Amino acid sequence: MGSLIGIFSKILFVNRLIVVALLAISPLMSCASPSESTAGTLTVVASTQILGDVVSVIGGEYVQLTILIPADSDPHAFEPAPQDAANLAQADLVFINGFNLEEALKPLLETEGLNIVIASEGIATIEFVGEEFEGGDPHVWMNPLNVKVWADNIASAFTAADPAHANDYRANADAYKAELDALDAWVGQHLSLIPAEARVLVTDHESFGYLADHYGFEIVGALIPSLSTVSEPSAGELAQLEDAISQYGVKAIFIGSSMNPSLADRVAADTGVRVVTLYTESLSAQNGPVPTYLDLIRFDVAAIVGALQ
């Protein structure tokens, strides 16, 4: 009898160990990776933080989103990791800006079977004279009205993939477009404080074309005379830029938060102008000054007005 009791005791002890182990493992099993969908949601990937923010707003509760390029990163210089390929492979929809902004992701985006949505489809691009860049200037988000096109394209893609929630996607897009209209009016009002003679811009690279075109600025030069930050200026191009800064009475050089400021600091030291940091290619972290696209535009406009007014 004693031996039987001993055997039952051992069995109960082993069962307790199994239960404890399962309880310890179950929270880990329930934590889906960013690329795994939960029931009733679309698994979605966006290329950039800026685009991802808009995708999140339109998709709302029906979307589980992964953003490939981290906050405060330059999409032109981004180097994808193996996990990025896995996230793309598991996505129901993959949203990209288009116009070659995601050149660094091209090998991954060419993977067969991806359902890619070009958010900028239908936007009238600004062509960049002096460089072959297929599809025009990719920095379309620097004009808030272009992001209204994003909202419509995103809502249409979600509706096609998940027609049961079409009304929700449309309502989210329409509400966001109203915010973009209000933002556009706010930007125009604040930039009007800058005198006409001071409405000239020097930037780190050619990323402000849409803002300049829409709000009446002239871009007189860039540290990197290219649509991509991976290019390098020649000594002659820097000399021309410094001459333009002097000629136009430029007050500031505007550089993106993801750029190395050393080149801007050197030109600023030569010309006596100040360097002002903006957010152009990416959002900040959620606890930073620019957690959303709307915040990005407000931050940049306030900084430009403060520097040029």
In degrees rounded to 5, what are phi and psi of residue 45?
-120, 135
pTM here is 0.84
pLDDT digit string (tens) for 120-155? Answer: 999 999 976 555 455 689 999 999 999 999 999 999
Residue 228 pLDDT level (bands cut at 50, 70, 90): low
- What's domain 194-308's architecture? 3-Layer(aba) Sandwich (3.40)
At 146, list the tokens.
Answer: 């272009």
pLDDT digit string (tens) for 264-298? Answer: 999 999 999 999 999 999 999 999 999 999 999 99
The CATH 3.40.50.1980 domain(s) of the chain lie at 42-188, 194-308
Looking at residue 230, what is its pLDDT?
Answer: 61
List b or e across 63-81, with b for residues whose CB sees 16 or more CB atoms inside 10 angstroms.
Answer: bbbbbbbebbbbbbebebe
Q: Does domain 42-188 bear CATH number 3.40.50.1980?
A: yes
Alpha-carbon distance of 121 to 124, in angstroms, equals: 9
At 57, list the tokens.
Answer: 């707003």
pLDDT digit string (tens) for 5-42? Answer: 343 333 333 343 333 333 333 333 333 344 344 456 99
Alpha helices, DSSP H only, in 162-290?
Answer: 166-191, 209-215, 235-248, 262-271
